Amino acid sequence: MNQEADNIQLERAENLLKQENWAQAHAVYLQIMQDEGESDQLLTKLGQTCFRQSQVEPAIDYFTRALALNSEAVEAHMGLVYCASSMGDIAQAVERCKHVLEFKPGYQPAHVMWASLLLPGAGYTEVLKHCHQKLKPKSYVEIGVESGKSLTLANPPTQCVGIDPKPQVVETISAPHKIFALESDIFFQQHDLLAELGCDHVDMAFIDGMHHCENVLRDFINIEKFSQPNTVVLIHDCVPLDTITSTRERNTNFWSGDIWKVIPCLKKFRPDLGVFTIPAAPTGLGLVVKLNASSTVLEENMEEALAYLRQLEFDYLDEDKSSKMSVIRNAWPSIDRLLPR
Ligand SMILES: C[S@@+](CC[C@H](N)C(=O)[O-])C[C@H]1O[C@@H](n2cnc3c(N)ncnc32)[C@H](O)[C@@H]1O
């Protein structure tokens, strides 16, 4: 077949994929391969179309043949990750994600898949939504708004304040809200949070702004001043995946910064707080309860707390991660037990 006819067939197969017509797309790719001979790309497409039809064994065979032609055929590796995962072999799926990242560092689909394999269950937005529904907070503060996705989870009549130096809200937010285009430190210097909320205290907060641990610590301190004993603070990105995705400066698309360090720091300096980690994909959620608006411990010990944060390295979590981070089960009964009634 000539190149032009070949391209037409490829385009036809792509359209069938878009229509999710896996069987027909498979047949077209098979025909192209018969005409043109094997290639790792075509074998990968055949594997993907088999997998989509729940034909896992043939899919594995195609992906393996693709890798025999090109050992770095990344989509074939990812195909095998999905196959292993669908057969419940999580360890093998994780190992293959790590292998892909060895020759393609920072490859986002491998990081995302690895994280979802390690953190099954509700994702962070589902947990946030659950907390809004359960707590029905009168007031809610969100640091780090971006598109507004997490702010849409607040329900009327919750009064919301969002803080983000570069908000890019595209979502429809149903709860009454004010968004301040400011860095959180500046917001707390310039505004009276309670006056902006029109409430006596903050009932619930979500910290998802600057991805550096000392910023998050300051955000927590600033929010706690306006808390009541039943206030719940959630902190995004408290379960780091690996070293490269938890550096302070961003090197990868999938990135949690070094926020996780705030969890052991709060546990050390504020044993009176309830500090937990929910292993919710993609990067976990810190959960802090039993706040005390009159506590000045963190501010008084700021230098020591900052020094503690600075010396923490990723390998601190190599052993005993679960107890160092007070990880709870990502299941509603485990989460609800910690929420105020
Ligand atoms: C990961 S996004 C937030 C996503 C959002 N919470 C969600 O789940 O849909 C992080 C946001 O934090 C904002 N940000 C960065 N530095 C900040 C700061 N110092 N104070 C507040 N927000 C900040 C960024 O502009 C960005 O929009």
pLDDT, tens digit, for every residue of 63-112? 999 999 999 999 999 999 999 999 999 999 999 999 999 999 999 999 99
The dotted CATH code for 3-118 is 1.25.40.10
CB-CB contact of 115 with 282 (8 Å): yes
Provide the whole-model pTM: 0.92
User: Atom 27 in ligand 1: which residue has the minimum CA distance?
Assistant: 146
**183 within ligand 1 shell (Cβ under 6 A):** yes
**209 within ligand 1 shell (Cβ under 6 A):** yes
Kindly report, residue by residue over 236-289, the tens digit of the pLDDT.
Answer: 999 999 999 999 999 999 999 999 999 999 999 999 999 999 999 999 999 999
Tell me if the domain spanning 124-338 has CATH number 3.40.50.150.
Answer: yes
Secondary structure (DSSP) of 54-104: T-HHHHHHHHHHHHHH-TT-HHHHHHHHHHHHHTT-HHHHHHHHHHHHHHS
Query: Given a cut of 70, is residue 1 above it in pLDDT?
Result: no
Closest-lying ligand 1 atom to the alpha carbon of residue 146: 27
**137 within ligand 1 shell (Cβ under 6 A):** no
**165 within ligand 1 shell (Cβ under 6 A):** yes
pLDDT band at 2 (very low <50, low <70, confident <90, very high): confident
The Cα–Cα gap between 109 and 97 comes to: 9
Kindly report, residue by residue over 140-156, the tens digit of the pLDDT.
Answer: 999 999 999 999 999 99
Please report, for residues 84, 88, 257, the alpha-carbon distance to residue 105 in angstroms, rounded to integers and kept in the order given: 21, 25, 17
First-last CA distance in the chain? 70
Instruction: Give the residue, out of 145, 171, 173, 256, with the most ligand 1 atoms within 8 A of its beta carbon, to mutate for a pocket test.
Output: 145
Between the CA of 209 and the centroid of ligand 1 the distance, in Å, is 4
Return the closest-CA partner of residue 78 out of 40, 48, 34.
Answer: 48
Kindly report, residue by residue over 296-308, the tens digit of the pLDDT.
Answer: 999 999 999 999 9
Q: What is the mean pLDDT of residues 44-61?
A: 98
- Tokens 């994780």 belong to residue: 94
Q: What is the mean pLDDT of residues 16-42?
A: 95
pLDDT for the residue 341: 83
The Cα–Cα gap between 11 and 100 comes to: 28
- Domain residue ranges in the chain: 3-118, 124-338
- Helix or strand holding residue 235 (H, E): strand 227-236
Round the average pLDDT of the chain to a whole number and report it.
Answer: 96
